[in-house]
Amino acid sequence: MTDEQLSEMMQRSPGLLSCSIDRNLEPTLNFYIDALGKDHALAFVTRIPASLSYSLEKRLKPRLKQALDVGMVVDSKLVSLIMFYTNEKWDRKVEIKMGKR
Amino acid sequence: MFRLVDIMLMYALFFATMGYAFHPYYHHRRRQHHSYRISSNILDQQGYYRRQLVQLYINIPTDPSIIEHNRQYLSDKLGFSEEKLDKIAASLTFNYNILTLDIGILDDRVNWLKNRLGLTENQVKKIIRLQPDILSRSSKSDKGLESKIDWIQERLVLDQKSLAKMTTKSPNILTMSIRDNIEPTLDWIQERVMLDQKGLSKMMTKHPAMLHLSIEDNIEPTLDWLQERLVLDDTALSKMIQRMPSILCYSITDNIDPKLDWLQDRLKLDDTALSKLIPRAHTVLSCSTDVLEDKLKWLQQRLFDR
């Protein structure tokens, strides 16, 4: 990563500077690697740096578990919905998927 | 005929009355502090008032058993270390401090404070260990704790939980003057940072230590400097301060200015980019540049060195 890329990333998601490596950044990156595989995860995080600042325990993990439970296909598109959707929208998506089963 | 000793005592009484009666500690001590009685026959014969005034005027030590009892109480009940107790014992003002209070007063005051502020056992221990001087104040006197706590709670519209949180974070506020410090500081901050009642309460609960800062020497110059350096309008400044009130406690020359220069250089930011970045990542000001560098290196290595 060049200094320019790093600068651009920080300007897009300055909140990353407030995250702890051990408590936030490392475990969250590992979550994406487990979910998407290393290459897809790194491409995803580089494209959306703010993805590293979402709460692992409150949002990412429980939603991924729900997604797997109802048989959703885990890819970059789904992971971005896991991140961005409000609780209301996410619950509706899960309910629709459950209804289809 | 007056005996020589009577003349001397009259002099002592005169100076004691003139000098001590107007001293702020006088009324306080008269009510609540035990002075070791002089066992002199002469004094015993001259009556209670003469003895009391002379005792107050001349530095007479408190009965050592009272001091020992209070030391034991502070150690057993509140976890004071011997070192801390020695320090308190060494800091007598007119032979007065919390160790010279009559037996039982400390316990009454600790219980009162705990109930009034809704504190847990650990919170009350923490507050008193940080600010033992709180126990030197009667809750009932005119400038006592009760009226002070009532005022703070009413001015900031605090529920019991917020009051406990605020005083535990910064027990020193209980020793500050409402009229000289707390009230003018709150009024000034509310006006300058454009806070409504709720915003002010939230900020003070989050960072009550701000009340210790001087408006002229700290708060005002820091706000002005931040506003100019980061090109913030009043609204943006208000938002930033509400999110991170602790920024007002940082030194501009030792902390904020060099850190902003470092960030600007490290991330190749112009002034506009820096002024956009900081309000969104104000917590960087509480990190050392070493910690920030570690984070940047981690991101570079983990995301790009595949």
A44, A94, B259 from B243: Cα distances, Å? 30, 35, 19
Instruction: Please state the separation of Cα B197 from the chain's center in Å.
Output: 23
Report the percentage of chain B scoring pLDDT > 70. Answer: 76
Q: Which residues 6+ apart lie within 8 Å of A10 measured at CB?
A: A16, A17, B267, B277, B296
Note whether A18 contacts B284, CB cutoff 8 Å: yes
The nearest alpha carbon in chain B to A44 belongs to B303
- Identify all chain A residues contacting B305, using CB atoms and an 8 Å cutoff: 1
Question: pLDDT of B74-101, one tens digit each?
Answer: 999 999 999 988 888 887 665 668 888 8
Question: Which residue among B273, B292, B305 sits closest to A17, beta carbon to beta carbon?
Answer: B292
Q: What pTM value is reported for the model?
A: 0.69
Distance from CA of A66 to the nearest CA of B (A): 28
Contact B295 A29 (CB under 8 A): no
For the stretch A5-44, pLDDT in tens is: 889 999 999 999 989 999 999 999 999 999 999 999 999 9
pLDDT digits (tens, 9 = 90+) for B96-141: 688 888 888 899 999 999 999 999 999 999 999 998 888 887 766 5
Contact A46, B305 (CB under 8 A): no
CB contact under 8 Å between A10 and B292, yes or no, is: no
pLDDT band at B303 (very low <50, low <70, confident <90, very high): confident
pLDDT at B47: 46
Whether residue A49 has pLDDT greater than 90:
yes
| Closest to B156 (Cα-Cα) out of B135, B127, B183, B174 | B183
The Cα of B292 is separated from the nearest Cα of chain A by a number of Å equal to 7
When CB atoms are compared, the residue of B281, B298, B304 closest to A25 is: B298
**Token pair in block for residue B149:** 């706590």
Q: Alpha-carbon distance A81 to B105, whole Å? A: 62
CB B166 within 8 A of CB B204: yes
Instruction: State the helix-helix crossing angle for B234-243 and B197-206, rounded to 10 degrees.
Output: 40
- Amino acid B119 reads L
Portions of chain B given CATH number 1.25.70.10 = 104-212
- What is the ipTM score, two decimals? 0.89
CA distance B240 to B256: 14
Residues of chain B contacting residue A9, judged by C-beta atoms under 8 Å apart? 299
> How far is Cα B9 from Cα B15, in angstroms, rounded to an integer?
10
**What topology is assigned to B104-212 in CATH?**
Transcription termination factor 3, mitochondrial (1.25.70)
Judged by a CB distance cut-off of 8 A, whether residue A94 touches chain B is: no
